[in-house]
Amino acid sequence: MNVNATPMTHAPIAIRSASAADLDTVRGLLQSAKLPTDGLEEQFGEGYAIAEFDGVPIGAEGIEVYGDAGLLRSAVVDTAWRGRGVGDALTHNRLAWAAQHGLREVWLLTTTAADYFPRYGFERAPRDAAPPLMQKSREFAEACPASAIVMRRAIG
Ligand SMILES: CC(C)(COP(=O)(O)OP(=O)(O)OC[C@H]1O[C@@H](n2cnc3c(N)ncnc32)[C@H](O)[C@@H]1OP(=O)(O)O)[C@@H](O)C(=O)NCCC(=O)NCCS
């Protein structure tokens, strides 16, 4: 895991699967970052990962499942922790989760991070090329504007 804790402490940063009890925490992280929370509750659970420092949530990222495709959403790191590899650890964790769950591809929509995700193999794709079921998701249909950039990455 490429995560650097603050030099003054040896408390670990951990990445764990979310549970229903984390929903409000993740909603708060997203609201702080001005990211959409629409439909967050619909597939909230083990498809989401939580990053913690000394037991305190500092980031999250989730994958919603639509058939054999995943929709990566809600990638967020607390502002105080950005640039230290927490997002990197979360993204690697979720891509591994996608592979473990037999997903064949992962999609995402973004208005803020189109230059971040190519390092993980995501490439821009036409919006209407996404799986039809995924296009009906609240993230696709409501939360992200038509101008959002759509990206896709094959798994495996
Ligand atoms: C995007 C985000 C999750 C990345 O988490 P992070 O812990 O800061 O990222 P890491 O420390 O793993 O990686 C830092 C690197 O990513 C780059 N980066 C971070 N956010 C970026 C962005 N929005 N666009 C392009 N590059 C970005 C940094 O410049 C840095 O680059 P470097 O390695 O070349 O120096 C975090 O910045 C965040 O919460 N942003 C606001 C919410 C957001 O836009 N989420 C994406 C929704 S699709």
Q: What is the CATH number of the domain that holds 37?
A: 3.40.630.30
Most informative mutation of 29, 95, 116, 140 for ligand 1 (most atoms within 8 A of CB): 116
Whether 50 is in a domain gets the answer yes
Whether 7 is in a domain gets the answer no
Cα(35) to centroid(ligand 1), Å: 14
87 CB near ligand 1 (under 6 Å): yes
Whether 95 is in a domain gets the answer yes
Using one digit for the tens of pLDDT, what is the confidence trace for 84-124? 999 999 999 999 999 999 999 999 999 999 999 999 999 99
Q: What is the DSSP letter of 110?
A: E
Backbone angles phi and psi of 56, in degrees to 5: -105, 125
Whether 3 is in a domain gets the answer no
pTM of the model: 0.94
Total tally of structural domains belonging to the chain:
1
83 Cβ neighbours under 8 A, 6+ residues apart:
none
Q: Which residues of the chain have pLDDT under 50?
A: 2, 6-9
Range of the domain at 28: 13-154
Cα(96) to centroid(ligand 1), Å: 19
Whether 35 is in a domain gets the answer yes
